Structure 1
Amino acid sequence: MRRFLADRSGNFGILLALLLVPVIGAAGLALDYSNALSVKTKIQGAADAAALAAVAESSPGVKQAFAMSDDGEVSIGVADAITFFKAQLESDPDFTLDEIAAKVVKKDGRLYSIVDYRATVKTTLSRILGKDLISVVGQAIVEYQTEIYRDFFLLLDNTPSMGVGATPKDVAKMVANTPDNCAFACHIVKNGVEDKNSYYNLAKKLGVTTRINVVAQAAAALMDTAKDSRKNSNQYRMAVYSFGEKAEDTKLLEVVSPTTNLGKAKSAAAKVELMSIPKQGYDNDQQTDFDRALTQVAEKMGTAGTGMTASSPEKILFFVSDGVGDSYKPANCTKKLTGGRCQEPIDVQYCNLLKSKGYRIAVLYTTYLPLPTNDWYKSWIRPFQNEIPQRMKACASPDLFFEVSPSEGISDAMTTLFKKIVNTPLLTG
């Protein structure tokens, strides 16, 4: 008996057998919890989407909330959230959905959409330790502020290139009726007096619509959209700027300062004219300085706010242009120079600087139409024609870029961008 008790052979095998269960169990727990986290990510995504759907633009829940005079629960939105949630996870074998609850509440001018869920995930190796299920719990919260305060700064490109015909038909008419086959309606003003022979006047006589005409009309129409969309009279302020009144003094021109009087802003926007020049080819046509315009408009915009109160509005730059810069820029031009003259698609570093300060940029790119009969276009613009829309899109904040030719409806495009901005819910948790 003493020899048997003193025998130590075979201890390793016994210890291994004893340790094998907790080792496999621990590995199983790690594997199963990793799988549970993956499942939770999937369910959380569905919950976020469901909460957003309940307060999406034109959803029944939002319509009901707007019709409510007081705070309270919005019953229609609850059904929408649950239906949307279940539709995304229907028949998913990775888990069992044990509980789903939703609530949409209007409180203090905001809508809160809340989706709670509880699910169980079956384990594999963890069963060795007696753990057959892992519980997954989560919540998604979306806040839709019905009265977000915003300042809109419309920067309208009115430089000479915006005097080109708005449509191919308008371009052809100008070319056919000018001795030098010019597609541009140059706005010539000498010593403060309009030149009766300028192509700008000719365009008016011919009934030719220029790009700047269409842009001014669209900017004016936007004021009506803003007026119809606001929930109170001081929710939106509008300001309008152009690149300048005349080529001899190119600087940011404040057409109308930020105002809640949208009728006043509409009237001012409608009167935006093409920048005048004293003669064709003045200053080597270097009047389209995007870098300067974006820098100067930032000084007008002030600090970007949260939008939660009238004293802390969001700041949105609404930039409308054909996207081709032409300025004196002897250094850092992104394309080849002619002396110090820089002709290039917009340099997006100035857009990025604005976005880094919290401003949102909505870009409406009025397609730069090819001018096949124009030697200047063929030599300098055509080589980078395909880059123009790419640069303009890069200038814009996410999902706030729109390209449109004037014949397709600039006014409709501007309205679409505006509605994208004002109808964006905020995912808060």
Structure 2
Amino acid sequence: MAVIMALLFPAIAGSAGLAIDLAHALAVRTQLEAAAEATALNAVSLASLASVNGLPEPDRRRTLQEQARRVFGEEVGNSGMTDRVSIAVEPLAEENGGRFSMRVAYRAAIPTTFLKALGKDTLRIGGVARAVAGDALFQDIHILVDNSPSMGIAVTPDEAQRLVALARAQATGANAGNPAGVSPNCAFVCHMPAANGRIDLFALARAGGIRLKIDAAREAALGIVALAQKALVQPEQHRFSLYTFGSDIGRAALQPLEATLRNEARTETVRARLADTGLMMVPDPGFRSGFGATPLTKAIAALARIVPPSGNGQLPGSRRQVVVLVSDGLNARRADAACTGFINDGRCVDPFSPRPCERLKARGVRIVTILVEPRNLNAQPVILTRIGTIRATAAGAMRACASPGLFFEADADGSLPPEVSRLFGTDLRMPLVTQ
């Protein structure tokens, strides 16, 4: 055995040494890949600046190539690799048909430790990273607008008071003087048939120009469409599908997701359809048929069955899939022991479950969530105060559903924060990197 081990020891030691040297080489290569990608992306970002874009083409290329060498050197220097590794970089700026690209080729000679015994003093590696600005990123954008009864809350105290005044002025008979808005069993601005002395509060709000959460949600969705339109490079680049919970609560309990538009590339058609998005109809004041009036969890689960796996977006046949959820994060269903919120008139009102969102993310789908909340929770003290106790949890569910960095809150008028324009706009036209 001693003789056999003596004979095998060089092979065993050589194999161990090879593994160690190769592992080191792979680690260096990973760091160089990251440096090359960062350099290429930095160059295409600089190419759009007026100070660089205004230069003659030869000067522009030379300036960007010199900047690329500096950036690559800084990236590599920060990693501490230059002490032992000999590195060369060849950045090449190119323009073709108005599109700018930066190609960063790198080579490195990595000194070995154990392989020197076998006569191998260095391991040589290399690679190429290329970033392109202006390439079309093909996307299918699926927008789900929450149009459930809870989206009928006025967005400010002043708006709520104006609605009460309008309703009081029109109320007659047994409903006269009812400060809750003529429909005592309806906790929100219900969209109900105007019959038996009742007033359709949603129609009244529309006629009076009173802003509700559904209006803010619609404007937020239109903002996303505007960002996509701004990033448009070529026709059919972005296609939109629009979804709601349905036209009335009775149908929503059976079919939690209703498509109002699918795979539409014309933004004017998308805007027109969004403008028609309104609050779902409540057939009866007591919500007796509406135990599933806000089936947010079920709607996202249904969406997860519809949206295909996401592609890389580089070709029309491999579109990137994006889901945009505009909601207050509340879920309403028939009350049971699993209710985590509160029970009202046989319904459980609690935050939705973000678990179906994970099914979408597992297939590479990006999820943007936009939280729409009223600026007051005291227009109807009983149920709105209860909602106030779970609003933080609902916001947390919206955040958990979103892909990293893609959770936002809309203002009362539906306007999106500035970072949405930067993040989602950049995401729609992000330079493509290839190795």
- Alignment pair present for 1:352 and 2:355: no
- Identify if the C-alpha distance between structure 1 residues 121 and 169 changes in structure 2 by more than 3 Å, giving closer, same or farther: farther
Where in structure 1 are there 5+ consecutive unaligned residues?
1-15, 68-72
CA distance in structure 2 between the partners assigned to 1:268 and 1:287 by the alignment: 22
Percent of pairs identical after alignment? Answer: 26
1:237-386 correspondence to structure 2 within 5 Å: 237-250=239-252, 251=255, 252-283=257-288, 286-298=292-304, 301=307, 304-328=310-334, 330=336, 335=341, 341-367=347-373, 369=375, 371-372=377-378, 374-379=381-386, 381-386=387-392
CA distance in structure 2 between the partners assigned to 1:30 and 1:220 by the alignment: 55
CA distance in structure 2 between the partners assigned to 1:194 and 1:235 by the alignment: 50
Counterpart of 1:155 in structure 2: which amino acid? Answer: L
1:164-243 correspondence to structure 2 within 5 Å: 164-167=153-156, 169-171=158-160, 179-180=179-180, 186-190=189-193, 196=199, 198=201, 201-202=204-205, 204-205=207-208, 207-243=209-245
CA distance in structure 2 between the partners assigned to 1:265 and 1:314 by the alignment: 19
- Alignment pair present for 1:115 and 2:99: no
- Identify if the C-alpha distance between structure 1 residues 43 and 167 changes in structure 2 by more than 3 Å, giving closer, same or farther: farther
CA distance in structure 1 between the partners assigned to 2:197 and 2:95 by the alignment: 57
CA contact (8 A) 1:364 1:403 kept: yes
CA contact (8 A) 1:65 1:106 kept: no
Equivalence for 1:48: 37
RMSD: 4.6
Secondary structure of 1:389 counterpart = helix
Equivalence for 2:174: none
Question: C-alpha displacement at 1:156, in angstroms?
Answer: 0.6
CA distance in structure 2 between the partners assigned to 1:194 and 1:413 by the alignment: 47
CA contact (8 A) 2:330 2:349 kept: yes
- Identify if the C-alpha distance between structure 1 residues 212 and 410 changes in structure 2 by more than 3 Å, giving closer, same or farther: farther
- Identify if the C-alpha distance between structure 1 residues 156 and 415 changes in structure 2 by more than 3 Å, giving closer, same or farther: farther
CA distance in structure 2 between the partners assigned to 1:303 and 1:138 by the alignment: 29
- Alignment pair present for 1:387 and 2:371: no
Equivalence for 1:159: 148
CA contact (8 A) 2:145 2:244 kept: yes
1:9-88 correspondence to structure 2 within 5 Å: 38-56=27-45, 59-60=46-47, 77-88=64-75
Equivalence for 1:406: 412
Question: C-alpha displacement at 1:188, in angstroms?
Answer: 3.0
Larger radius of gyration: 1
Question: C-alpha displacement at 1:341, in angstroms?
Answer: 3.0
- Identify if the C-alpha distance between structure 1 residues 327 and 370 changes in structure 2 by more than 3 Å, giving closer, same or farther: farther
Secondary structure of 1:320 counterpart = strand
CA contact (8 A) 2:148 2:293 kept: yes
**Which of 123, 135, 139 matches 1:150?**
139
CA contact (8 A) 1:22 1:129 kept: no
Question: C-alpha displacement at 1:85, in angstroms?
Answer: 1.6
Where in structure 2 are there 5+ consecutive unaligned residues?
1-5, 55-59, 167-177
Counterpart of 1:238 in structure 2: which amino acid? Answer: F
CA contact (8 A) 2:311 2:320 kept: yes
CA distance in structure 2 between the partners assigned to 1:351 and 1:390 by the alignment: 13
Question: C-alpha displacement at 1:406, in angstroms?
Answer: 2.5
Question: C-alpha displacement at 1:310, in angstroms?
Answer: 3.0
Counterpart of 1:359 in structure 2: which amino acid? Answer: V
- Identify if the C-alpha distance between structure 1 residues 159 and 26 changes in structure 2 by more than 3 Å, giving closer, same or farther: closer
TM, length-normalised to structure 2: 0.73
- Identify if the C-alpha distance between structure 1 residues 260 and 286 changes in structure 2 by more than 3 Å, giving closer, same or farther: same
Per mean C-alpha deviation after superposition, the further-off stretch among 32-41 and 246-255 is 32-41
CA distance in structure 2 between the partners assigned to 1:168 and 1:82 by the alignment: 58
Counterpart of 1:83 in structure 2: which amino acid? Answer: R
**Which of 78, 82, 89 matches 1:100?**
89
TM, length-normalised to structure 1: 0.74
CA distance in structure 2 between the partners assigned to 1:113 and 1:376 by the alignment: 58
Secondary structure of 2:297 counterpart = helix
- Identify if the C-alpha distance between structure 1 residues 349 and 61 changes in structure 2 by more than 3 Å, giving closer, same or farther: same
- Identify if the C-alpha distance between structure 1 residues 273 and 80 changes in structure 2 by more than 3 Å, giving closer, same or farther: farther
CA contact (8 A) 1:217 1:411 kept: no
